[in-house]
């Protein structure tokens, strides 16, 4: 069921009264991004009664804009036309808007409403926040993220009859180049358009990437089943290996910022033999396995020279993404997917959390798990599922923070055949439907977009939902476990999380301790080491190595510990002992902050940290007869770290 007109109208009108008449911030009544936009619009000197939207646009300005923005229009218009055709008679008008807020292209239907929308989206119209106040495309340009603005949430009274949704467009360099907007009359739920709008935006971005005159295009992902889909990373290189451009997925996977094209090269991004790039460039390598400079493993596919081939693959893959991402993880795969080992272990706090959560879960009371990243929230959720009467059913996990904005709606609820361009023939099941008879795990629920929280609340209340593009109600039959590393009560107070949803999912709240706070670290280290070693021999930990593992602060918690042990086992293969030399340099450098604590007792409160470090290093060097390697081991730091410290202290 949709949100009633009365409840939405009352909330927004109350928010407007608080803000415009009483000068109070309407926290919790409307989305936080809308409030921020109201504040910016007021600071710009705009008034709600201003007439700014329906002013005429000079013909010569249109010609100049069309010429200036020809590449953006060429990439956007074909995807806009396909999307508009798939939307049928739903009343949507589509517009492509450049980074300055100027409409450069639009696609509208016929009829009275369409003509009014076409008047708004004339080429040359300025719809930025500075020009017309709060609106979907203007806010999306300012915030750099998807935006929904409904009816009276607009700042200007003259656009209150409209509702709009907008998603940002990023160019090959990673810079924001514009937004794609969908607008229609009424205050319905434009959040439903974000799904097809996001897919169209990705297609536009990939078209822009395909226009680069590159020598080699590469698609990659750490999950091989996501190759040839809109979620794979795509990078384009010049003949000398210089990075020319990358899509948003690639930037996220590689940790690239905007405008890094031209400064990065193939060999700086991927740790592989030099001949890999040469073979791919010559067309002698079409698939391979690469590692990033940070150690992540990627499956990759290569396409040399032939323009458009990689883009064609992406379009074909768009039909597969929904089915791939919606596969439930079977109980037998749970341990492998979690990657955190036995997160419960022997810690009494974690054990009590499991006991309380298990009792609530079996009585169909929603469970909310709090804990830092890597503490084992998904492991606990899987344990609840496996120990319950629903263990024979599927365990379906959704990471609410990692789904692209344009794919969230169909990932959750599925979609019917023909719901949007690029959709799978026959439609696809959503994860709420796939979880039937089992458990639905909503991970990082604190990062769920505000626009989707209302629909989730209704599903949990009414225990039914409909697919995107469909009307048939489907019964929701799954137990719910939610998890977050955030303080939801704080988000509620800030208006960034719905209070009613918070109390709906917080039947019982349990907290998992951070690794540094656990009393079973020694047992957990040995258990994880044995698990990572598998059937092979388990090497001993040197005293220095165990000391570091026991006293490191572990910001990534159990997950980080597992990765460190896995790397150490790989580097120490064939050896009987794991030492400091088998640990990542960054871990030892970070641990080096505690170097001063290994010094002799202080001679007085006025002794400075540099003096303590100097004395500690001198004493250690003396004990080890000047042997740098032995001194580094005794101090529990890497040799490179000790060399750097010796130089800083004037001892080298």
Closest CA to 390 of 477, 483, 459, 505: 477
Q: 7-207, what's its fold?
A: Beta-Lactamase (3.30.450)
CA distances from 577 to 539, 584, 587, 588 (A): 5, 16, 19, 18
How many Cβ atoms sit within 10 Å of the Cβ of residue 424? 17
CATH of segment(s) 212-318: 3.30.450
**Is 603 buried (19+), middle (13-18) or exposed (0-12) by CB count in 10 A?**
exposed
The C-alpha atoms of residue 284 and residue 279 are separated, in whole angstroms, by 5
Q: Are strands 367-370 and 540-541 parallel, antiparallel or unpaired?
A: unpaired
Q: Between vectors from CA 233 to CA 227 and to CA 239, what angle results, nearest 5°? A: 110
- Beta carbons within 8 Å of 470's beta carbon, 6+ residues apart: 415, 416, 419, 427
Q: Between vectors from CA 113 to CA 109 and to CA 118, what angle results, nearest 5°? A: 60
CA distances from 358 to 351, 372, 481 (A): 11, 20, 11
Please give the DSSP secondary-structure letter assigned to residue 468. Answer: B
Contact indicator for 345, 523 with CB cutoff of 8 Å? yes
Contact indicator for 165, 197 with CB cutoff of 8 Å? yes
pLDDT for the residue 313: 46
Tokens of 556: 């990534």
CA distances from 364 to 385, 434, 462, 601 (A): 11, 18, 15, 56
Tokens of 569: 């086992």
Strand positions, DSSP E, 354-478: 367-370, 395-399, 439-443, 464-465, 474-475
CATH of segment(s) 517-583: 1.10.8.60
The C-alpha atoms of residue 476 and residue 500 are separated, in whole angstroms, by 19
Tokens of 636: 């529990």
What CA dihedral angle connects 71, 73, 78 and 84, to 10 degrees? Answer: 160
pLDDT for the residue 1: 42
| Sequence ranges of the chain with CATH classification 1.10.8.60 | 517-583
Look at the block and give the residue holding tokens 């396409």: 303
Chain center to CA of 48:
35
Give, rounded to a whole angstrom, the gap between the first and last alpha carbons of the chain: 73
Tokens of 646: 């010796």
Closest CA to 128 of 157, 109, 103, 151: 103
| Whole-structure pTM value | 0.51
Closest CA to 126 of 61, 176, 80, 200: 61
Q: Between vectors from CA 586 to CA 581 and to CA 590, what angle results, nearest 5°? A: 105
CATH 1.10.10 fits 586-652, yes or no: yes
**Is 35 buried (19+), middle (13-18) or exposed (0-12) by CB count in 10 A?**
buried
Q: Are strands 464-465 and 367-370 parallel, antiparallel or unpaired?
A: unpaired
By residue count, the chain amounts to 652
How many Cβ atoms sit within 10 Å of the Cβ of residue 192? 21
Contact indicator for 75, 211 with CB cutoff of 8 Å? yes
pLDDT for the residue 349: 57
Strand positions, DSSP E, 563-614: 577-578
Contact indicator for 354, 380 with CB cutoff of 8 Å? yes
Tokens of 404: 């692209």
Q: Dihedral of CA 425/431/437/438: which sign? A: positive
Contact indicator for 18, 152 with CB cutoff of 8 Å? no
pLDDT for the residue 75: 92
| Sequence ranges of the chain with CATH classification 3.30.450.40 | 7-207
In Å, the largest CA–CA distance within the chain is 90
Query: What are φ and ψ of residue 545, in 5° steps?
Result: -65, -45
Query: What are φ and ψ of residue 230, in 5° steps?
Result: -65, -15
What CA dihedral angle connects 581, 585, 590 and 595, to 10 degrees? Answer: 40
The C-alpha atoms of residue 209 and residue 212 are separated, in whole angstroms, by 6
168-187: b (≥16 Cβ within 10 Å) or e? bbbbbbbeebbbbbbbbbeb
Q: Dihedral of CA 557/558/560/564: which sign? A: positive
| Sequence ranges of the chain with CATH classification 1.10.10 | 586-652
The C-alpha atoms of residue 284 and residue 278 are separated, in whole angstroms, by 9
Closest CA to 216 of 290, 129, 152: 290
| Sequence ranges of the chain with CATH classification 3.40.50.300 | 329-513
Q: Alpha-carbon Rg of the chain, whole angstroms?
A: 28
Contact indicator for 243, 173 with CB cutoff of 8 Å? no
pLDDT for the residue 538: 77
Q: 329-513, what's its fold?
A: Rossmann fold (3.40.50)
Strand positions, DSSP E, 254-394: 287-291, 297-304, 367-370
Mean pLDDT by 10 residues, the chain (652 residues): 57 92 89 92 92 75 84 92 80 91 88 77 90 94 89 92 91 90 78 78 86 88 78 87 88 73 81 88 90 81 66 44 32 32 51 75 89 88 89 91 71 79 72 93 91 88 87 90 92 90 89 81 80 78 85 88 91 87 84 47 42 67 75 67 70 68
Pure H helices in 94-237: 112-120, 129-132, 136-143, 194-210
């Amino acid at each position: 069921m949709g949100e009633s007109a009365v409840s939405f109208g009352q909330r927004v009108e109350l928010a407007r009264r608080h803000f415009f008449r009483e000068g109070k911030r309407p926290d919790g009544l409307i989305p936080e991004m809308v409030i921020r936009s109201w504040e910016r619009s007021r600071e710009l000197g705009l008034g709600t009664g201003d007439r700014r939207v329906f002013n005429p646009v000079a013909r010569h300005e249109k010609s100049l804009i069309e010429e200036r923005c020809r590449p953006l229009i060429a990439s956007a218009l074909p995807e806009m036309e396909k999307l508009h055709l798939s939307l049928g008679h739903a009343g949507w008008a589509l517009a492509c808007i450049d980074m300055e807020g100027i409409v450069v292209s639009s696609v509208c239907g016929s009829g009275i409403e369409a003509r009014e929308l076409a008047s708004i989206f004339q080429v040359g119209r300025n719809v930025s926040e500075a020009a017309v106040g709060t609106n979907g495309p203007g806010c999306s340009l300012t915030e750099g993220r998807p935006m929904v603005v409904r009816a009276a949430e607009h700042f200007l009274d003259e656009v209150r009859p409209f509702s709009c949704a907008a998603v940002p467009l990023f160019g090959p360099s990673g810079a924001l180049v514009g937004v794609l907007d969908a607008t229609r009359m009424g205050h319905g739920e434009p959040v439903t358009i974000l799904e097809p709008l996001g897919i169209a935006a990705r297609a536009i971005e990939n078209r822009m990437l395909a226009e680069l005159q590159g020598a080699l295009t590469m698609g990659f992902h750490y999950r091989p089943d996501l190759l040839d889909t809109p979620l794979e990373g795509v990078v384009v290189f010049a003949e000398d290996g210089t990075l020319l451009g990358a899509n948003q997925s690639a930037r996220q996977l590689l940790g690239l910022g905007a405008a890094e094209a031209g400064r990065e090269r193939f060999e700086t991004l991927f740790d592989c033999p030099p001949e890999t790039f040469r073979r791919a460039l010559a067309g002698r390598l079409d698939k391979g396995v690469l590692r990033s400079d940070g150690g992540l493993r990627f499956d990759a596919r290569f396409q040399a020279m032939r323009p458009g081939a990689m883009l064609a693959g992406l379009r074909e893959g768009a039909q597969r993404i929904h089915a791939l991402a919606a596969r439930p993880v079977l109980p037998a795969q749970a341990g492998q997917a979690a990657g955190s080992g036995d997160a419960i272990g022997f810690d009494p706090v974690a054990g009590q959390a499991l006991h309380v959560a298990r009792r609530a879960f079996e009585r169909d009371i929603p469970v909310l798990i709090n804990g830092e990243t890597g503490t084992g929230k998904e492991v606990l959720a899987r344990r609840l599922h496996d120990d319950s009467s629903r263990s024979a059913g599927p365990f379906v996990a959704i990471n609410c923070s990692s789904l692209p904005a344009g794919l969230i709606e169909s990932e959750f609820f599925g979609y019917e055949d023909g719901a949007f361009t690029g959709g799978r023939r026959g439609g696809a099941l959503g994860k709420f439907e796939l979880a039937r008879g089992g458990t639905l795990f909503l991970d990082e629920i604190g990062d769920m977009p505000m626009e989707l929280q209302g629909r989730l609340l209704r599903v949990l209340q009414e225990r039914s939902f409909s697919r995107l593009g469909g009307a048939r109600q489907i019964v929701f039959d799954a137990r719910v476990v939610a998890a977050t590393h955030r303080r939801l009560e704080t988000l509620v107070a800030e208006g960034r999380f719905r209070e009613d949803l918070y109390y709906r999912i917080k039947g019982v709240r349990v907290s998992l301790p951070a690794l540094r706070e656990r009393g079973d670290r020694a047992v957990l280290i040995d258990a994880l080491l044995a698990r990572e070693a598998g059937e092979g021999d388990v090497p001993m930990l040197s005293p220095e190595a165990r000391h570091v593992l026991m006293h490191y602060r572990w910001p990534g918690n159990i997950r980080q510990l597992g990765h460190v042990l896995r790397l150490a086992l790989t580097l120490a293969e064939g050896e009987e002992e794991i030492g400091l030399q088998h640990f990542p340099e960054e871990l030892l450098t970070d641990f080096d902050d505690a170097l001063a604590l290994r010094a002799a007792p202080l001679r007085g409160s006025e002794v400075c940290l540099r003096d303590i470090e100097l004395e500690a290093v001198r004493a250690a060097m003396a004990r080890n007869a000047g042997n740098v390697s032995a001194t580094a081991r005794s101090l529990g730091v890497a040799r490179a770290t000790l060399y750097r410290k010796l130089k800083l202290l004037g001892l080298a």
